[in-house]
Amino acid sequence: MTYAVAFRLESGLVFAADTRTNAGVDNIAQYKKLQLWRRPGDRVLVLLAAGNLAVTQAVVSLLNEHLAEEEAGEDAATLYTAPNMYRAARVVGDAIREARRIDGAALEASKLGFNTNFIFGGQIKGERPRLFQIYPEGNFIEATDDTPFFQIGEHKYGKPILDRVARSDMRLGEAAKLMLLSFDSTLRSNLSVGMPIDLVIYERDSFDVTREKRISADDEYFRQLSSSWSDALRQAFSKIEEFDV
């Protein structure tokens, strides 16, 4: 399983994904599930993936293959030729459909199915930053101010804190803190999500990524966050009146 979450804020975008993959509990591995494409001054694009690793890697390989073809002069819509984020999201959707044409039938014939979800966001010159959740069918929805975040994978444990605190006018560092708390809850309750966490903060109109970090289990900030949060929750709990029928 995977846990990945992204925010679309007035001041930019924040992305985070864990790195654990597993095929049964005795076969776990570490893979990067956050992909980053950038052309400084023009666009920054980030893709988070949850689901069958073979499928998500196929999608990324297809996207990169099309970029290479473009460089070789072939004429196709790619992540670098898309004129806006809506078109770029369609490029990702097309890659998912292409991956399904290749592997879908074999997967559907097994009990695995073709079941992969993506979060895709970024900024292309001329637009504000935009964020999408792309379904296994290749279609997608876009985040708005009403619901400024998307989650994929093992999303339930970490959702209550987001539902309570998330707002689209948060600062980037504040949103990153919130996402890490959401990860902390998930990591404690579900073994299939594991450290390190890949985190990317994109500042609006920067058209480059300068704030990017892989947060490992011994990261000082994360440990501090996790223990402060536990203490704060226990303290808050003890202050509330007991139930008395």
For the CB of residue 170, give the shortest distance to a copy of itself in the complex, in Å. Answer: 10
In angstroms, the Cα distances linking 131 to 9, 120, 220 are 10, 6, 30
Distance CA 72, CA 156 (A): 44
For the CB of residue 175, give the shortest distance to a copy of itself in the complex, in Å. Answer: 8
For a copy of itself, which is the closer residue by CB, 61 or 147? Answer: 147
For a copy of itself, which is the closer residue by CB, 62 or 187? Answer: 187
CA-based nearest residue to 200, from 125, 136, 129: 129
For the CB of residue 203, give the shortest distance to a copy of itself in the complex, in Å. Answer: 11
For a copy of itself, which is the closer residue by CB, 87 or 156? Answer: 156
Distance CA 31, CA 20 (A): 6
Could you tell me where the DSSP H helices lie in the chain? Answer: 53-71, 85-109, 159-165, 172-189, 220-239
For a copy of itself, which is the closer residue by CB, 94 or 203? Answer: 203
For the CB of residue 73, give the shortest distance to a copy of itself in the complex, in Å. Answer: 38
Interface residues toward a copy of itself, by CB under 8 A: 156-161, 163-165, 171, 173-174, 176-178, 180-181, 185-186, 188-189, 199, 201, 211-213, 221, 224-225, 228-230, 232-237, 239-245
In angstroms, the Cα distances linking 155 to 9, 60, 195 are 20, 22, 16
For a copy of itself, which is the closer residue by CB, 66 or 150? Answer: 150
CA-based nearest residue to 120, from 129, 110, 109, 107: 129
Burial pattern 158-180, b for ≥16 Cβ within 10 A else e, equals: bbebbeeebebebebebbbbbbb
User: Do residues 10 and 169 touch, judged by C-beta distance below 8 A?
Assistant: yes
For a copy of itself, which is the closer residue by CB, 92 or 199? Answer: 199
